[in-house]
Amino acid sequence: RKEVEQDPGPFNVPEGATVAFNCTYSNSASQSFFWYRQDCRKEPKLLMSVYSSGNEDGRFTAQLNRASQYISLLIRDSKLSDSATYLCVVIPNDYKLSFGAGTTVTVRA
C-alpha cells in the first residue's frame, strides 16, 4: 500500500464551482499534513497546512480525519488561476515529505 494516495482526478469544473477531493495516508503515526500546489512543469509550492480541527485560507478549506486517516481539500468559488495539480503531503517522520501522486484540477471559463 502506498504511503499517500489521492483521488486520481482530473476534476474539470466551471468558474465559480466548488470542488473537493481527498487523500488517504497509511501511517497512523503521521503528525503533519499539508497541501502543496504544483503548476505545469513548475516546482511544488506550499498551499496550506492541515490542522486537526480543520482550517480555512480564503476559498480553501482543509480537513483532517485521523480516525479514517484521510485529509481533504475544498475549493470554493473556483477561479481560472486555481487550475493546477494539488499534492497531498504527509510527514511520517522528522525529515521526509511523502507526496501523493496529485489531483489535477482544471477550471474552465
Size of the site for another protein (CB under 8 A): 22
Among 63, 72, 100, 105, binds another protein (CB under 8 A): 100
Give 87's Cβ-side CA count (13 Å radius): 18
State in angstroms the smallest separation of the CB of 104 from another protein. Answer: 10
Are residues 64 and 54 in contact, defined by beta-carbon separation less than 8 angstroms? yes
90 interacts with another protein by CB under 8 A = no
66 interacts with another protein by CB under 8 A = no
Q: Which three cell numbers stand for residue 90?
A: 504527509
Query: Taking Cα atoms as reference points, which of 6, 20, 4 lies closest to residue 73?
Result: 20
Binding mask 13-32 for another protein (x = CB under 8 A): ------------------xx
Separation between Cα atoms, residue 109 and residue 61, nearest integer Å: 22
Among 43, 53, 67, 81, binds another protein (CB under 8 A): 43
Query: Taking Cα atoms as reference points, which of 64, 8, 65 lies closest to residue 35?
Result: 64
Q: Which residues bind another protein (CB under 8 A)?
A: 4, 31-32, 34, 42-46, 49, 87, 91, 93-102
